[in-house]
Amino acid sequence: MVSLLAGKAAGANMTEIKLHNTLTNQLETLAPQKPDEVKIYTCGPTVYAYAHIGNFRTFMFQDVLRRFLRSQRLRLLHVMNVTDVDDRIIQNAAGAGVSIREYTEKYIQAFLEDMRALNLEQPEVLARATEHIEDMVALIERLQKKGLTYSSDGSIYFRIAKYPAYGKLSKIDMGGIQAGARVDVDRYEKDDARDFALWKAPKPGEHFWESRIGPGRPGWHIECSAMAMKYLGDTLDIHAGGVDLAFPHHENEIAQSEGATSRPFAKVWLHSEHLLIEGQKMSKSLGNFYTLRDLFARGLKPSTVRFLLLSVPYRRQLNFTEDGLLQAQNSVERLRNFVARLKTSNLPTGSDEKNAARIAKAEADFEAALADDLNTAVALAAIFDLVRDANTAMDRGEFKQQDAMRAVSAMEKFDLILAVIADDDEAKLRKLGFGKAEERLAAEQVEALIEQRKTAKAARDFKRADAIRKQLTDSGILLEDAKDGSVRWKYK
Ligand code: AMP
Ligand code: ZN
């Protein structure tokens, strides 16, 4: 691992990292329990569809956090859950006549591919809910022993009235929530509107697990408490997620975990603001979303999307606009052109103290900005100021060979966090089936495959016909079967 602070011992003389803790509503200096390791839990995707770029805004903030902490020579133990069981997943899998595992596998793989396309680092542990049912059952049993639960119609609920600290994260006044109000998104009978399900009794025909606490399936909240504590212990250093999760999800996680252990669950809670489109939160339910693949199909590059998502500090809302995309693309180009110029220009030999100091200042400003609650906007400004000054110095012949080497190495360090300068956009797009025109199937190849598909259909070999259609769509070809049997096609 390369450090921005070369020469510093792990954990020693570290830059003070300040993060905004939702729990205290203050900027706090990060002080992990072990000085050189940070235990992080982040709420991951619900895998019933492709993730949208609003989701990736949140995952991007977590990636910047990861990369910055690593650059500070901190080891990470980061756990992210994959919610692979919930109402929609059970319904959709049943509707498609496949198992939950089979249904979610496609979206889990797509999520991992999308992560790779965006250069999002994989957490150390990716934990699927369905592989941790026993841990959830055991945690519910602990809560039962503590008298914090009750059963109704085969389901088990957390009794909030027995947990006075409830609301400390979101500062929500639970007194104002009337019985009968819908707080949690489930349709079960409970004593109090504020209570939430830990274990849900199966409805007729639904998939369920047999367990010591009866047949059923876990509620969403218990999943995170059980998996976080299994891998990270009772107390995490950081717990993060999108701002919409603070209440009720994270509040419920705290109630379950602290209710069971009587110890603090997470020292620091981080919440990222939403990505908006036309003034509204991008969300699946509103239907106003783009997946990453939607954007790639429109010719956008992975680096453009990554830059856009990280350019706005995580606690500010991010407006998703065409103009923003264009600016992001230009910014990445500018960074790449600068590095290319540094590497290829015929510069005078030697070095200049002034330039060395200028580069060192950019490095220090970049690091200080990220240490200030991950202020990516200020960090980027530090880089672009350097780019401008160095370009001017090169124009004037005042930038020497060793200065250029120093600048290249600074840009490489910045890119450990930005991850947009090294250009592998085309390779990534090709891997996902969005090739460049010259790498696409030639028109004659497409026509030949369409002929073969026709022949296969005529011979009622539908398996082969489908395989050919898949090959074509995977290669970025849109097929349209007309009523008269003819086939029209175009490049995506
Ligand atoms: P989900 O797959 O719906 O459970 O969401 C995964 C993550 O994406 C959660 O941390 C959400 O808070 C986050 N998220 C959902 N919509 C948005 C949005 N429009 N902007 C930023 N984050 C979001
Ligand atoms: Zn969670």
From the CA of 48, which ligand is nearest?
Answer: 1
If phi over 0 gives left and psi between -120 and 50 gives alpha, with beta otherwise, what is residue 254?
A: alpha
Ligand 1 centroid–CA 251 distance in Å is 16
For a mutational test of ligand 1's pocket, the pick from 48, 86, 244, i.e. the residue with the most ligand atoms closer than 8 A to its C-beta, is 244
Does residue 42 have its Cβ closer than 6 Å to ligand 1?
no
**Cα atoms in the 13 Å half-sphere on the side-chain side of 83:** 22
Cα 265 from Cα 288, distance rounded (Å): 35
Closest-lying ligand 1 atom to the alpha carbon of residue 274: 20
The b-or-e profile of 453-492 (16+ CB within 10 A means b, else e) is beebbeeeeeeebeebbeebeebbbebeeeeeeebeeeee
Does residue 43 have its Cβ closer than 6 Å to ligand 1?
yes
Quick one: pLDDT at residue 413?
98
Does residue 304 have its Cβ closer than 6 Å to ligand 1?
no
Q: State how far the alpha carbon of 411 is from the alpha carbons of 1, 392, 472, in Å.
A: 16, 17, 40
Model pTM above 0.75? yes
Tokens of residue 389, six digits: 């000054």
- Evaluate whether 240 touches 271 at the Cβ level (below 8 Å): yes
Give the contacts of 392 (CB within 8 A, at least 6 positions apart).
Answer: none
Does residue 61 have its Cβ closer than 6 Å to ligand 1?
no
Does residue 49 have its Cβ closer than 6 Å to ligand 1?
no
Ligand 1 centroid–CA 440 distance in Å is 34
Tokens of residue 489, six digits: 């096609």
Give the contacts of 316 (CB within 8 A, at least 6 positions apart).
Answer: 273
From the CA of 239, which ligand is nearest?
Answer: 2
In order, the DSSP letters of 220-274 are: HHHHHHHHHHHHH-S-EEEEEEEGGGIIIIIHHHHHHHHHHHSS-SEEEEEEEPP
- Evaluate whether 77 touches 231 at the Cβ level (below 8 Å): yes
Does residue 275 have its Cβ closer than 6 Å to ligand 1?
yes
Does residue 45 have its Cβ closer than 6 Å to ligand 1?
yes
In order, the DSSP letters of 164-219 are: TTTTTTTT--GGGS-TT---SS-----SSTT-EEEEEPPPTT---B--TT-SBEE-
From the CA of 242, which ligand is nearest?
Answer: 1
Backbone angles phi, psi at 84, to 5 degrees: -110, 25
Does residue 55 have its Cβ closer than 6 Å to ligand 1?
yes
Q: Provide the pairing of β-strand 37-42 with 318-319.
A: unpaired
Cα 131 from Cα 38, distance rounded (Å): 24
Cα 252 from Cα 220, distance rounded (Å): 10
- Evaluate whether 262 touches 146 at the Cβ level (below 8 Å): no
Amino acid at 480: E
Q: Provide the pairing of β-strand 125-128 with 75-82.
A: parallel
The DSSP H or E segment spanning 489 is: strand 487-491
Ligand 2 centroid–CA 253 distance in Å is 7
If phi over 0 gives left and psi between -120 and 50 gives alpha, with beta otherwise, what is residue 10?
A: beta
Cα 339 from Cα 405, distance rounded (Å): 10
Ligand 1 centroid–CA 42 distance in Å is 11
Cis amide leading into 204 (omega within 30): no
Locate tokens 């509620």: which residue? Answer: 219
Quick one: pLDDT at residue 8?
45
Q: How many C-beta neighbours within 10 Å does residue 314 have?
A: 26
Ranges of the chain with pLDDT below 50: 1-11, 178-185, 187, 438
In order, the DSSP letters of 292-344 are: HHHHHHTT--HHHHHHHHHHS-TTS-EE--HHHHHHHHHHHHHHHHHHHHHHH
Ligand 1 centroid–CA 221 distance in Å is 15
